[in-house]
Amino acid sequence: MRIRCRENGPLVVAMPVEVVDHLGNPFPIAREKEFVALCRCGASQRKPFCDGAHKGIGFIGAELAPVEPTPEPSNI
């Protein structure tokens, strides 16, 4: 599974994935979807899914994953 953090936006998860509530009941997701976007700004009216509200509130979320350091060239 791969979860992509969109810059200033939702967490995007490739299908197939099941999203369940705190009781374990699944949220309906259309079968033809290629991905689901999960709200991480807190402003969506369709939580846990993103509804685009992050744009209106100016959500900032641009965290970057650590990058592996480039190995030093050897002094042979």
Residues in contact with ligand FES by the rule CB under 6 A? 9-10, 39-41, 43-44, 50-54
Which CB atom, from 36 or from 54, has the smaller least distance to ligand FES? Answer: 54
Q: Which residues contact 51 (CB under 8 A, 6 or more apart)?
A: 39, 44, 45
CB 39 within 8 A of CB 10: yes
Which CB atom, from 7 or from 18, has the smaller least distance to ligand FES? Answer: 7
Which CB atom, from 36 or from 44, has the smaller least distance to ligand FES? Answer: 44
Provide, rounded to whole angstroms, the least separation between the CB of residue 44 and ligand FES: 4
Distance separating alpha carbons of residues 17 and 71, to the nearest angstrom: 37
